[in-house]
Amino acid sequence: MKNISLIINGVLAVALILLYYLHFSSGRENSPEAAVASVSDFKIAYVNADTLLEHYEYIKTSVEIMEAKKQKIESDYRKRAESLKGEFEAYQRNMNNMTIGQVRAVEEDLARKQQNLQLFEQSISQELMNDQARINKELYDRVTAFLKEYGKQRGLMVVLKFDPSSDLLYAHDTLDITQDVLKGLNEAYLKEKAEKDKAFKKNQENTNSK
């Protein structure tokens, strides 16, 4: 969840100084009245990142899938490790009754299997890291795409992240769009998921009917 939180930070954190510069350097007069008019047009909102992390269905589903895959991989690894341990213990029990050639052959075989187990561990660790990176990228794309359209429809120029780690120390509740954004994100994701499930079911039916 820490990695996902970092992605949320990247999605929602905005350089206010740059935006103010672009907004106020658009050729308007440098009078107080012009500045007040400009500020009134500068629409800002914020979302609570912790709430999104906790209630966004895409994240819930992704975490469940990742956890199930992790448990399966760990179970496979334990079985391989226990099997190798059993072979090693059997070798220790029987080595006194083996010839030098047999001892050498068994030791070489055990060393090869141990190396393969280490390579397998590295492989699954990299696979899980790649899966996490993919989820982070998909999360980034989903949130940025939604906020871009959401902000365009409502005339927002800035959407900030609000949580204990952010630089936003205070914001009025009227600027909080968390629930509205969360609702929109979940509706879009659940619709997408339903369409995929329907397509998968139809494909399975067509396959079974052949």
How many whole angstroms separate alpha carbon 130 and alpha carbon 101? 43
**Integer-rounded Cα radius of gyration of the chain:** 28
Of the candidates 136, 139, 132, 138, the one whose C-alpha atom is nearest the C-alpha of residue 65 is 132
pLDDT in tens, 71-110: 999 999 999 999 999 999 999 999 999 999 999 999 999 9
Q: What is the pLDDT of residue 14?
A: 38
In order of 100, 111, 154, the CA distances from 91 in angstroms are: 13, 12, 72
Per-residue pLDDT for 205 more than 80? no
Global pTM reads 0.69
- Residues 6 or more apart from 168 whose CB is under 8 A from it? 46, 160, 161, 162
Domains detected in the chain: 2-198 (3.30.910.20)
Q: What is the pLDDT of residue 124?
A: 94
Burial class (CB in 10 A: 0-12, 13-18, 19+), 2: exposed
CA dihedral 174, 136, 61, 46 (to 10 degrees): 0
Q: What is the pLDDT of residue 22?
A: 36
pLDDT in tens, 52-80: 989 999 999 999 999 999 999 999 999 99
- Residues 6 or more apart from 116 whose CB is under 8 A from it? none
